[in-house]
A and B are shown apart, each in its own frame.
Chain A
Amino acid sequence: LAKTTQPISMDSYEGQEVNITCSHNNIATNDYITWYQQFPSQGPRFIIQGYKTKVTNEVASLFIPADRKSSTLSLPRVSLSDTAVYYCLVGDRPSNSGYALNFGKGTSLLVTP
């Protein structure tokens, strides 16, 4: 079961690019990497998912190096509303050996003016 390690917290100013790195040294061949965002008193919300190289959508980019032992969530030009906790999730679909889902402990991002 792949374990993940993220920084506990990060600070940024509005308008800057923020990069949050997640370490997952034991990632398995079939594992995908998914990032979620959570605001206080709400459930997490899906941001982006990838398997290798780079994935980009309207809110973020995800960079995954060739060895896949880490991944970086990139948030371009953050605003105050991006203040939240960001979770890195590594897992695979259920198999005969069970499931594999592992959320990290999250990175608390604080964006200030």
Chain B
Amino acid sequence: DVKVTQSSRYLVKRTGEKVFLECVQDMDHENMFWYRQDPGLGLRLIYFSYDVKMKEKGDIPEGYSVSREKKERFSLILESASTNQTSMYLCASSLRTSGSWNEQFFGPGTRLTVL
């Protein structure tokens, strides 16, 4: 059974703190993604990684960075959290093959509140 886990379901941080969101998948997928989801805006891609140590910017990378040191783990980093980064963060993974984007498997999400 495929599984994507995220380190926390709920997280509360203060403005200016450095925040780490961790995502782990057990499906040996090459691709991993970080999205944020806000009411009325749908899912927006922050960063994407297609291999270890490789990353690509998504629609809204400003204020975020990522790390992929191991194939199964993809971390999202908020260097200095701000209140406008309060959101639901979703991690996903998929196989990398030629042709279309393959099915993405999503984690349960982390609801981050920045005070």
B-binding residues in A (CB < 8 A): 32, 34, 36, 41-46, 49, 51, 87, 89, 91-94, 98-99, 101, 103-106
Contacts and interface: CB of A to CB of B under 8 A. Distances in A.
16 contacts: A43-B107, A46-B104, A49-B103, A51-B100, A89-B101, A91-B101, A93-B98, A93-B100, A99-B45, A99-B48, A99-B56, A101-B45, A103-B43, A104-B42, A105-B40, A105-B42
Interface of B: 4, 33, 35, 40-45, 48, 50, 56-58, 90, 92, 96, 98-101, 103-109
Contacts of A49: 100, 103
Given A43-B109, A93-B98, A101 B58 contact: yes
A54 B43 CA distance: 26
A85 B34 CA distance: 19
Of A41, A43, A91, chain B has the most CB atoms within 10 Å of the CB of: A43
For the residues of A in contact with B, the DSSP-based class is strand
Contacts of B56: 94, 98-99
A76 to B, nearest CB: 21
Given A43-B4, A44-B106, 10 more contacts: A32-B101, A34-B103, A43-B109, A44-B104, A51-B100, A93-B96, A93-B98, A94-B50, A103-B42, A105-B42
Given A87-B42, A106-B42, A101 B48 contact: yes
